[in-house]
A and B are shown apart, each in its own frame.
Chain A
Amino acid sequence: MSKLSMRRMKENQSGIISAVKADGEMGRRIRDMGLVPGTHIKIQGRAPLYDPVALRVMGFTLTLRNNEADLIVVEVE
């Protein structure tokens, strides 16, 4: 068990969100999509230029830019 920012997660790696460090509009958007502490996520893949990242959360697929993924801390298994 270790904590790292979502940007640094590898493809197919999964974990549980432990903190979302974004506030304001960005924070709101991220949380609205269910990225809140305690949610299980799995990295599904990355765009051809390695940004954005696609992840699976609660059964659907979501994409985030890397600089947004930086703000999410995940406890990986």
Chain B
Amino acid sequence: METTIALAGNPNSGKTTLFNELTGARQHVGNYPGVTVEKKQGTYVSNGYKMTIVDLPGTYSLTAYSLEEVVARDFLVKEEPGVVINIVDASNLERNLYLSLQFMEMGIPICIALNMIDVAKNRGIEINEKKLSEFLRIPVVPTVARSGRGKTELMNAAEKMVKKNERPIPLDISYGGDVDQALVEMEAEISANSFLTDTYRARWVALKYLENDEQIRSLGQKTDPVLSSKLEEVVNRLSIHLQDTLDTYPEAMIADHRYGYIKSIIKQGIISFKQDRDRLFLSDKIDKVLTNRFLGPVIMIAVLMGLYHLTFAYSEVPVGWLESFFGWLGGMVEAFLPDGLIKSLVISGIIDGVGGVLGFVPLIMFMFFGISLLEDSGYLARVAFMLDRVFQIFGLHGSSVMAFIVSGGIAGGCAVPGVMASRTLKSPRERLATLLTVPFMNCGAKLPVFALLVAAFFAANEAKIMFIITLVAWGGALLVAKLLRITIIKGAATPFVMELPPYRLPTFKGLLIHTWERTWQYIKKAGTVILGISIVIWAMMTFPSLPESKTQIFEAERKAVMVGVSSTVVEELESADEEAELSERAEGLKDLLTAIDYREAESALKHSIAGRMGTALEPASRLAGFDWRTNIALVGGFAAKEVVVSTLGTAYSLGEVDPEENQSLSETLASNPGWSPLVALSLIIFTIFYAPCFVAVVCISKEAGSWKWGAFSMAFNTLLAFVLAMLVFQVGTALGILAG
């Protein structure tokens, strides 16, 4: 026999910890159909009885306002789990019971896990669980999820409930005379017409109508518009009456009475406090320092910088290993495959693509380890608390800061983990605005582009220019966020109402599970798509290849050069392996031949789809000062921003330039008449703002839940970048500044 058991409870009640404790490694993370809310599933076996455990999103209530609440409610109604284990934080009983009450109103069979009983005890809170159980007429089992205490008893109680399989006696509390009267009236109508009653209890439907529940109301409109309007009529009458007599709304009355009911239970001697409830616990004392007006921000900057270094410095080593591995693999292919398209596809398309995907893995692991550490310990909520005032101005949320910093708010980050870091944001509009603006930050891949241009044109002011670039990125990102929030992601700020959970020492196991989950999701979800796009970009820069007539010209040039020197020199060059010391004349020949190869690569690039795009765009891009070479490089930069440098190298017949060693290229640019400091500035601006690299685009689409947003960020960012670059170039030209 099998059954499904759902875990439900407030955020921070210990749900995830209990879930991990019950299912161990037997878990599977996915999404609820059609939404980005995570769905965790696992199995628990006891006495040969297999139970599927589903971790529902943590919520404070069961209204239909947030996605999490809708998901949790739909799951309960549609999947009908055998029993719901409601995790209740014993140190925070009153607020946690508010959710329990709502399950009971729905008529859902629940069993309460009275978790954090150890914390409650330390705080001098004593709970008589027997009495609580008798009062609510449901099993109550004290647990400590962190150590696994009470786990078996809890599961036995749950199993017993499933086996007995009797529907619970629903809890019908009084919401005050006026509301109760309306409820009775509505309930009668609902039952008489079997309105929605195949899925919901009649009284609950009436209650949801009174609570203005969007989901139930629109479902009602569709099912039976006449009856639905009639019910709404009753609600309106009651609303007006309550407004006139008590200056309140039905839903406020209902909430007040729920809490009133909870307070009345608590007063029955179920809970006793040995200490003053407003007493400052250790956690509050820590807060006196960590959120202090002066010390708080200083410590916060130190912690964030620390996290940043943890992520990027320590991940450098494994990233280096991966890079050398893929370099080695490329070398093997180079040596063993014959020259030609297949080789080029394998090296530039597949190996670089897979390497690109896996190259981010250590970064994502370290970053999520760091973020989990801050989140589980409770510090992240304090960061949000301290910075909210600033981010609020731009229509964002205090929690947005994490995503911005990781993306390169301190130059050198990466938008991929940055985009994923926006998960810590619970408010949907603020989250979307954050997702769409973090790619403006200066990630590590943009730095070589800036370094090249600064070295070529602003060598005297390097530090100053880099600082300005960072400021422009932040300013731009925040202003665009504001713009988005008053246009396409319009809507009032999501209420900030946020709990500051007590500081807790995170468990290592919890951190590891969390980190691994995120990393695996990235590999699984993004991996395949990214490999595909990488091959497409390779094809764009390779096809169509040069026609025979053109390649023959280069071939003829090579022959002519070789004929020009004595055959011994040619032989010396052909027989020498790479490391060998060459004679002066052989060296000279080699240089000549390489120069021809590079020129051939340049024409091949110009001939390819990317080259043609670059050329076709030239009339427009001229407005910002870019010629076709820059355009191709920017197209290549969609694969990864540092590719801009190497592609520029090819386009200027310098071969593929290593982004770290750009001297020859920067000299070429500095002396090229098509370039000037103004063009460089315009290109810097463009690079900051244009389309995120496609790995980031894929992540944005996944996190926002729709490819529409990925496409939007490509189109919008590029357009914005172009307008800004054009402004810089045109104004600069008109004023005659930075002309070189």
- Binding between chains A and B: yes
Q: Which residues of A contact B (CB under 8 A)?
A: 14, 19-20, 23, 25-34, 36-39, 42, 44-45, 47-52, 54, 56, 58-65, 68
Contacts of B92 in A (CB 8 A): 58-60
**13 contacting pairs across A/B (C-beta < 8 A):** A25-B494, A25-B495, A34-B259, A38-B259, A38-B260, A47-B389, A51-B388, A52-B385, A52-B496, A59-B125, A60-B95, A61-B500, A63-B499
Shortest Cβ distance from residue A58 to the other chain B in the assembled complex, whole angstroms = 5
Residue of B63, B388, B497 near A33 (CB, 8 A) is B497
In the complex, residue of chain B having the shortest beta-carbon distance to the beta carbon of A42: B278
Binary interface encoding of chain B residues 388-418 relative to chain A, with 1 for a CB under 8 A from any of its CBs, else 0: 1110100000000000000000000000000
Residue of B125, B255, B389 near A32 (CB, 8 A) is B255
Q: Is the CB of B278 within 8 A of A28?
A: no
Shortest Cβ distance from residue B283 to the other chain A in the assembled complex, whole angstroms = 8
Residue of A23, A30, A47 near B385 (CB, 8 A) is A47
Q: Is the CB of A30 within 8 A of B497?
A: yes
Shortest Cβ distance from residue A12 to the other chain B in the assembled complex, whole angstroms = 9
Shortest Cβ distance from residue B556 to the other chain A in the assembled complex, whole angstroms = 72
Q: Which of B259-298 contact A (CB under 8 A)?
A: 259-260, 263, 277-278, 284, 287-288, 291-294, 296-297
Given contacts A47-B386, A65-B388, 9 further A-B contacts (CB under 8 A): A31-B259, A33-B60, A38-B259, A44-B287, A48-B296, A51-B388, A59-B123, A63-B498, A63-B499
Q: Is the CB of A20 within 8 A of B95?
A: no
Any chain A CB within 8 A of the CB of B143?
Answer: no
In the bound complex, how far is the Cα of B392 from the Cα of A17, in angstroms?
26
Contacts of A63 in B (CB 8 A): 385, 496-500
Q: Which of B423-449 contact A (CB under 8 A)?
A: none
Q: Is the CB of B389 within 8 A of A33?
A: no
Shortest Cβ distance from residue B347 to the other chain A in the assembled complex, whole angstroms = 53
Q: Which of B630-683 contact A (CB under 8 A)?
A: none
Shortest Cβ distance from residue B474 to the other chain A in the assembled complex, whole angstroms = 18
Question: Which one of A39, A42, A59, A63 has the greatest number of beta carbons of chain B within 10 Å?
Answer: A59
Q: Is the CB of A64 within 8 A of B98?
A: no
Contacts of A26 in B (CB 8 A): 492, 495
Binary interface encoding of chain B residues 246-258 relative to chain A, with 1 for a CB under 8 A from any of its CBs, else 0: 0101011001100
Q: Which of B478-510 contact A (CB under 8 A)?
A: 492-502
Q: Which of B94-136 contact A (CB under 8 A)?
A: 94-95, 98, 123, 125
Q: Is the CB of A58 within 8 A of B389?
A: no
In the bound complex, how far is the Cα of B255 from the Cα of A51, in angstroms?
27
Q: Is the CB of A29 within 8 A of B65?
A: yes
Known: A61-B284, A68-B497. Is A50-B291 also a contact (CB below 8 A)? no
Interface size on B, residues (CB 8 A): 48
Known: A28-B65, A32-B61, A60-B95. Is A37-B256 also a contact (CB below 8 A)? yes
In the complex, residue of chain A having the shortest beta-carbon distance to the beta carbon of B493: A65
Q: Is the CB of A58 within 8 A of B388?
A: no
In the bound complex, how far is the Cα of B297 from the Cα of A56, in angstroms?
22
Any chain A CB within 8 A of the CB of B86?
Answer: no
Contacts of A39 in B (CB 8 A): 259
Binary interface encoding of chain B residues 33-64 relative to chain A, with 1 for a CB under 8 A from any of its CBs, else 0: 00000000000000000000000000011010
Residue of B284, B392, B497 near A29 (CB, 8 A) is B497
Contacts of A62 in B (CB 8 A): 497-500
Q: Is the CB of A52 within 8 A of B500?
A: no
Question: Which one of B125, B256, B492 has the greatest number of beta carbons of chain A within 10 Å?
Answer: B256
Known: A27-B251, A28-B63. Is A48-B293 also a contact (CB below 8 A)? yes
In the bound complex, how far is the Cα of B496 from the Cα of A56, in angstroms?
16
Contacts of A49 in B (CB 8 A): 386, 389-390
Q: Is the CB of B389 within 8 A of A64?
A: no
Shortest Cβ distance from residue A53 to the other chain B in the assembled complex, whole angstroms = 10
Shortest Cβ distance from residue B70 to the other chain A in the assembled complex, whole angstroms = 13
Known: A30-B495, A60-B92. Is A44-B390 also a contact (CB below 8 A)? no
Shortest Cβ distance from residue B584 to the other chain A in the assembled complex, whole angstroms = 69
Shortest Cβ distance from residue B724 to the other chain A in the assembled complex, whole angstroms = 30
Q: Is the CB of A51 within 8 A of B389?
A: yes
Contacts of B296 in A (CB 8 A): 48
Any chain A CB within 8 A of the CB of B372?
Answer: no
Q: Is the CB of A65 within 8 A of B252?
A: no
Any chain A CB within 8 A of the CB of B91?
Answer: yes
Residue of A31, A38, A42, A60 near B252 (CB, 8 A) is A31
In the bound complex, how far is the Cα of B277 from the Cα of A58, in angstroms?
7
Q: Is the CB of A68 within 8 A of B496?
A: yes
Contacts of B259 in A (CB 8 A): 31, 34, 36, 38-39
Q: Is the CB of B499 within 8 A of A58?
A: no
In the bound complex, how far is the Cα of B259 from the Cα of A58, in angstroms?
11
Q: Is the CB of A59 within 8 A of B496?
A: no
In the bound complex, how far is the Cα of B492 from the Cα of A4, in angstroms?
25
Known: A47-B388, A48-B293. Is A34-B499 also a contact (CB below 8 A)? no
In the complex, residue of chain B having the shortest beta-carbon distance to the beta carbon of A41: B278
In the bound complex, how far is the Cα of B388 from the Cα of A51, in angstroms?
8
Shortest Cβ distance from residue B424 to the other chain A in the assembled complex, whole angstroms = 15
Q: Is the CB of A60 within 8 A of B98?
A: no
In the bound complex, how far is the Cα of B390 from the Cα of A51, in angstroms?
9
In the bound complex, how far is the Cα of B98 from the Cα of A36, in angstroms?
12
In the bound complex, how far is the Cα of B65 from the Cα of A31, in angstroms?
13
In the complex, residue of chain B having the shortest beta-carbon distance to the beta carbon of A20: B252
In the bound complex, how far is the Cα of B160 from the Cα of A28, in angstroms?
36
Shortest Cβ distance from residue A62 to the other chain B in the assembled complex, whole angstroms = 6
In the complex, residue of chain A having the shortest beta-carbon distance to the beta carbon of B295: A48
Q: Is the CB of B389 within 8 A of A52?
A: yes
